[in-house]
Amino acid sequence: MLSQQNNQKYKISKKYSVGFYTIAGYAVFRYYEEREYGTWEIDRDRMLGRLSGSGLKKLFKFEAGKKEKYKKYQVYGIWEK
């Protein structure tokens, strides 16, 4: 079984956060929304549509920093246009 490394969760706003970990040469981003009955994983596009300007800046800065640090890894979870 493969184990996750560099597991981190970063709070973007009161309601949204992004998780990051590496596993077997992949850098993985996961996006979460706090709801009444717990935390739910959501897709990145949904989060982008709901964040304010400062929340978007925090998210993009976090993603860019991780992408730079782990640039030799295959990135999973970011859908670039």
Distance CA 80, CA 8 (A): 21
For 56, phi then psi, to 5°, come to -65, -40
The span from the CA of 70 to the CA of 64, in Å, is 10
Residues 50-71, buried b or exposed e (16+ Cβ, 10 A)?
ebeeebeebbeebbeebeeebe
Q: pTM score, two decimals?
A: 0.85
Query: What is the full per-residue pLDDT of the chain (81 aa) written as tens digits?
Result: 566 678 889 999 999 999 999 988 899 999 999 999 999 999 999 999 999 999 999 999 999 999 999 989 988 875 554
Which residue type, as a one-letter code, is found at position 48? Answer: L
